Amino acid sequence: MAKEDLLGASLWDAYSNKVTTLMNNPQHQGEISEVEAASHGNKLIVADFGAESCGDAVRLYWEIDPKSDIIVNSKFKSFGCGTAIASSDVMTELCIGKTVQEAVKITNIDVEFALRDTPDIPAVPPQKMHCSVMAYDVIKKAAGLYLGIDANSFEEDIIVCECARVSLGTLQEVIKLNNLKTVEQITDYTKAGGFCKSCIKPGGHEAREYYLVDILANVRREMDEEKMKAAADAGSTGSFENMTLVQKIKAVDAIVDENVRQFLIMDGGNMEVIDIKVGDEYIDVYIRYLGACNGCSSSSTGTLYAIEATLKEKLSSKIRVLPI
């Protein structure tokens, strides 16, 4: 029976030709013995790693020239699915010729990318990305054994999405800088959550310490607290005029979020603060209308007056709102 009949054509098509070729005909499968490595004057490193989520395991052999730290030969054995075999084979190929210090920089993304037929089409379906992660982890294990250090020391950041190797710090920074509000936006910006999806929320194939839904909620709460603090600070007489430009924009955003924005969104619109310029007589707040508000007749009359009146009351009587 054809594989298309067993798996379905769409599932079969989710794997690259390189993956299907290597899972049946790996180029570096095998082992290296102590005797073989010693006969070349080299050191043998054997590292094992297993993925608890799927039961797959891989054993990596490195034959290393101790004078240069170069991996002159490498083999692997894999106990698992065909994708694990293909990922391990490519991982082994990528190690050969590199120093140990260079090899440890190989990521699961490098492994998956090397398995692609074309640069813009993933080599495996999302649920199989963990196989390339396993390859990445066994490299760290081997490097740690050779260098005599803990494999975890190679990881400087807390990794939230193992598939895309996206750290907690990166996620927090991207959410703040781009004012992200949904997990889908996080995935668009960082690729986190775009593969096996276990890092999105509890209940995936592998339990995680951090989930995107919680990270997003925590960062959004911090951002809201910062805005409210800015608004509260601005409530003191004369304090708005003395703020920096960034502080002024945050204070205006906070007031708009609390008093205006929800009404704009209800009508299918929104607004954003573009710039604030301080003159002798006025503090000009330049805004841009978004969605349904852009071009609406009320945007230059009633809506504009309501925004300006609110900002004058809450922040400074010198404020003048100018749409652009």
Contact 8, 19 (CB under 8 A): no
Say if residue 147's pLDDT is above 70.
Answer: yes
Say if residue 294's pLDDT is above 80.
Answer: yes
pLDDT of residue 34: 96
Q: How far apart are CA 106 and CA 52, in angstroms?
A: 22
pLDDT of residue 244: 85
- Supply 207's token pair: 């339990």
Task: Render pLDDT for 185-200 as a digit per residue (tens, 0 to 9).
Answer: 998 877 789 888 899 9
3-state secondary structure of 268: coil
Q: How far apart are CA 313 and CA 321, in angstroms?
A: 13
Say if residue 284's pLDDT is above 80.
Answer: yes
- Supply 158's token pair: 């807390």
Strands (E), the chain: 43-50, 57-65, 70-79, 159-161, 166-167, 269-278, 283-291, 319-323
Told to judge if 54 belongs to the known catalytic residues of this protein, a careful annotator would answer: yes
Q: What is residue 29's DSSP assignment?
A: B
Strand-pair category, 269-278 with 70-79: unpaired
Say if residue 2's pLDDT is above 70.
Answer: no
Contact 42, 65 (CB under 8 A): yes
Q: Residues 24-28: what's their mean pLDDT?
A: 94
Contact 117, 7 (CB under 8 A): no
DSSP string covering 81-136: -HHHHHHHHHHHHHHTTSBHHHHTT--HHHHHHHT-SSTTS-SS-GGGHHHHHHHH
pLDDT of residue 85: 92
Q: What is residue 209's DSSP assignment?
A: S
Cβ neighbours for 296, distance < 8 A, ≥ 6 positions apart: 269, 289, 303
pLDDT of residue 126: 67
Contact 216, 297 (CB under 8 A): no
The confidence band for 109, taking pLDDT boundaries of 50, 70 and 90, is confident
Choosing from 95, 131, 163, 199, which is the catalytic residue?
Answer: 131
Least confident range of 37-46, 59-68, 258-267, 284-293: 258-267
Report the predicted TM-score, pTM, of the whole model to 2 decimal places.
0.54
pLDDT of residue 110: 85
- Supply 303's token pair: 């809506």
Q: Residues 153-175: what's their mean pLDDT?
A: 80
Task: Render pLDDT for 118-132 as a digit per residue (tens, 0 to 9).
Answer: 888 888 876 677 677
State what percent of residues in the chain have pLDDT above 90: 45
Higher pLDDT, 73 or 84: 73
Choosing from 54, 95, 199, 293, which is the catalytic residue?
Answer: 54
**Strands of 319-323's sheet in order across:** 269-278, 283-291, 319-323
Task: Render pLDDT for 197-246 as a digit per residue (tens, 0 to 9).
Answer: 899 999 877 788 999 999 999 999 998 888 777 666 655 545 788 888 88
Backbone φ and ψ of 273, nearest 5°: -85, 125
If one counts every other C-beta atom within 10 angstroms of the C-beta of residue 96, the result is 16
pLDDT of residue 127: 66
Q: Residues 16-39: what's their mean pLDDT?
A: 95
Mean pLDDT of the chain: 86
Task: Render pLDDT for 258-281 as a digit per residue (tens, 0 to 9).
Answer: 889 888 988 889 999 999 999 989
- Would you say the C-alpha torsion 297, 298, 302, 306 has a positive or negative sign? negative
Higher pLDDT, 311 or 137: 311
Place of tokens 């054994």: 145
Say if residue 114's pLDDT is above 80.
Answer: yes
- Supply 61's token pair: 């052999």
The radius of gyration of the chain from alpha carbons, rounded to an integer in Å, stands at: 28
* Domains of the chain in sequence order: 3-155 (3.90.1010.10), 161-222 (no CATH), 237-323 (3.30.300.130)
